[in-house]
């Protein structure tokens, strides 16, 4: 039962254009969502997050949008740069307690390639 899904295994974008990475979830108890960037054989690097009480959060070139009714979030990168090429994971957590302490549920990741 995959509760967090990233349906696009890969995305290719030209430098300077917008990259849009998508993520869907099924568990309505998720209340916090995060995006991580990862290079092979390295740990994920935190990019940006959003609480379920918001529908948008911005940090520089990165913006995350949350549509709770659709159980969908997206990460926008504008403008895209070749250094953004990596695997992007979305992750979700529920309010702490019980079986949710310290647990992030991850999507399968999307490989982003930004061409010069």
Partner 1 sequence: KAGVTQTPRYLIKTRGQQVTLSCSPISGHRSVSWYQQTPGQGLQFLFEYFSETQRNKGNFPGRFSGRQFSNSRSEMNVSTLELGDSALYLCASKIEGGETQYFGPGTRLLVL
Among 13, 24, 25, 44, binds partner 1 (CB under 8 A): 44
Say if CB 45 and CB 38 are below 8 A apart. Answer: yes
What is the C-alpha to C-alpha distance for residues 1 and 34, in angstroms, rounded to an integer? 20
Candidate list 45, 58, 67, 82; residue touching partner 1; CB under 8 A: 45
Tokens 């949710």 found at: 100
**Binding piece for partner 1, criterion CB under 8 A, among 14-22, 63-71, 77-85, 96-104:** 96-104
Residue 72: both structure tokens together: 């969908």
Tell which one of 32, 74, 85, 113 touches partner 1 (CB under 8 A): 32
Q: Which of 82, 86, 66 is nearest to 74 (CA)?
A: 66
Q: Which residues bind partner 1 (CB under 8 A)?
A: 32, 34, 36, 41-46, 49, 51, 89, 91, 93, 98-109
């Amino acid at each position: 039962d995959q509760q967090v899904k990233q349906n696009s295994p890969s995305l290719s974008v030209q430098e300077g254009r917008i990259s849009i990475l998508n993520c869907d979830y099924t568990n309505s108890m998720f209340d916090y969502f995060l995006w991580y960037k990862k290079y092979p054989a390295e740990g994920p690097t935190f990019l940006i997050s959003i609480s379920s009480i918001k529908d948008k959060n911005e940090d520089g070139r990165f913006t995350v949008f949350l549509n709770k009714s659709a159980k969908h979030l997206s990460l926008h990168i504008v403008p895209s740069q070749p250094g953004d090429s990596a695997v992007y994971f979305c992750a979700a957590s529920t309010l702490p307690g019980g079986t949710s302490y310290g647990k992030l549920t991850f999507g399968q990741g999307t490989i982003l390639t930004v061409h010069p």
